[in-house]
């Protein structure tokens, strides 16, 4: 299972929120590049970089931070937050993103998102399926849609999506543990396992990335056992609940 630390950006600073509430903002470091380099120094290869300003204003904002981290580390970066147009995607990829995550746009402008999957390929586009009460939340988690998370994921799996980041917003930043039950049900609903008309191949399998609520190192093997392809870890690192040395040893084991 891939270990993917998170850096969330507001006004160029590394912050964390609780349950996606901007009023709970806590600044952990004024220099996101410094944080990214500390991850790299411990053998971490991946980074989840979120432009929270972009999510709020529905356009890419902190691409200079992306460019700085991408050019000065070897981390493979998935970038999200406010990507709404072809121009936003062009800026993100040109600034060094390895993958981009789209959430709100997959609900509000599905034809645009489907076009991105076809244009860039399933290895470059991640579906952001973040949920509150199992309904997909959008616009930086400020709105709840009517879409239920599992059918939503399945509908995009039929469009070719493989990578899905799912955050249970009620768990995010709370350090109370991830949504094991929700992730199990998502993985059990993987169309490549159950639909005889769906292409049965290793490549078509759902690559679920767990996010939100990770609080202790012991939760990581449990997520791996469930079948999660990766896990995003944020506040647990910043609050010292999980050390970078523990993650380094996990990656090397």
Which residues are tagged catalytic?
8, 130
CB 162 within 8 A of CB 205: yes
Q: How far apart are CA 166 and CA 168, in angstroms?
A: 7
**CB under 8 Å to 184, separation ≥6 — which residues?**
226
225 closest CA partner among 165, 184, 171: 184
The answer to whether the beta carbons of residues 100 and 89 sit under 8 Å apart is: yes
Please give the Cα distance from 37 to 62 (Å, whole number): 18
Burial of residue 93 (CB within 10 Å: 0-12, 13-18, 19+) is middle
Given a contact cutoff of 8 angstroms between Cβ atoms, the answer to whether 13 and 232 are in contact is no
The percent helix, strand, coil of the chain (3-state, each to 5) is: 35, 30, 35
- 162-177 burial: b if 16+ Cβ within 10 Å, else e: bbbbbbbbebbbebee
**Separation CA 37–CA 106 (nearest Å):** 32
């Amino acid at each position: 299972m891939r270990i993917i630390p998170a850096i969330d950006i507001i006004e160029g600073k590394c912050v964390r929120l609780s349950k996606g509430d901007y009023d709970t903002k806590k600044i952990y470091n004024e220099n996101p590049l410094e944080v990214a380099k500390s991850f790299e120094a411990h053998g971490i290869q991946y980074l989840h970089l979120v432009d929270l300003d972009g999510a709020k204003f529905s356009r890419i904002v902190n691409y200079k931070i992306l460019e700085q981290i991408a050019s000065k580390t070897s981390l493979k970066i998935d970038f999200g937050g406010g990507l709404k147009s072809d121009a936003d995607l062009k800026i993100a990829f040109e600034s060094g993103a390895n993958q981009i995550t789209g959430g709100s746009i997959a609900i509000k402008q599905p034809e645009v998102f489907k076009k991105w999957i076809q244009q860039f390929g399933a290895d470059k586009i991640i579906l952001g399926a973040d949920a509150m009460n199992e309904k997909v939340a959008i616009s930086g988690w400020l709105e709840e849609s009517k879409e239920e998370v599992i059918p939503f994921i399945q509908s995009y799996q039929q469009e070719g999506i493989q990578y899905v980041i799912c955050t249970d917003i009620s768990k995010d930043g709370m350090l109370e543990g991830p949504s094991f039950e929700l992730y199990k049900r998502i993985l059990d609903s993987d169309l490549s396992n159950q639909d005889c008309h769906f292409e049965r191949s290793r490549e078509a399998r759902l690559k679920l990335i767990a996010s939100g609520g990770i609080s202790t190192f012991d939760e990581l093997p449990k997520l791996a056992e469930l079948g999660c392809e990766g896990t995003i870890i944020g506040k647990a690192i910043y609050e010292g609940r999980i050390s970078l040395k523990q993650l380094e040893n996990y990656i090397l084991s």
